Amino acid sequence: MYKLEFYRPALKAMGKFKLLTFVQIFNDIADLKLNPRPHGYIKLTDRDGYRIRSGDYRILYEIDDEKKIIYIANIPHRKDAYKS
């Protein structure tokens, strides 16, 4: 089982979600603890890390397999997910 750590942008985003969206994203993040590379995950090409879809949002994260830690980097809306 992996441990989760959140970067500040991810925590800030989580604080702005409505309850149903928050619960959906929280459950998807919790599932990463057991399977950090679930069906449908995609390796990012322009930066390190991965992403999974959660409704209209994208969970951007990095995996440290040696330390068994998943770093949740950000949770942007899909329209903003890939802007630099």
- Which pLDDT tens digit goes with each residue over 14-25? 999 999 999 999
- pLDDT at 82 (0 to 100): 64
Give the residue extent of every domain in the chain.
3-74
Query: What is the DSSP track for 15-63?
Result: TTS-HHHHHHHHHHHHHHTT-SS-TT-EE-SSSSSEEEEETTEEEEEEE
Query: Above 60 in pLDDT, residue 76?
Result: yes
Q: Exposed (0-12), middle (13-18) or buried (19+): which is 15, by Cβ within 10 Å?
A: exposed
Give CA–CA dist 75/58, Å, rounded.
5
Query: Above 60 in pLDDT, residue 84?
Result: no
48 residue type, one letter: D
Fold classification of 3-74 is YaeB-like fold (3.30.2310)
What is this structure's pTM? 0.90
- pLDDT at 83 (0 to 100): 64
- Which pLDDT tens digit goes with each residue over 33-62? 999 999 999 999 888 999 999 999 999 999
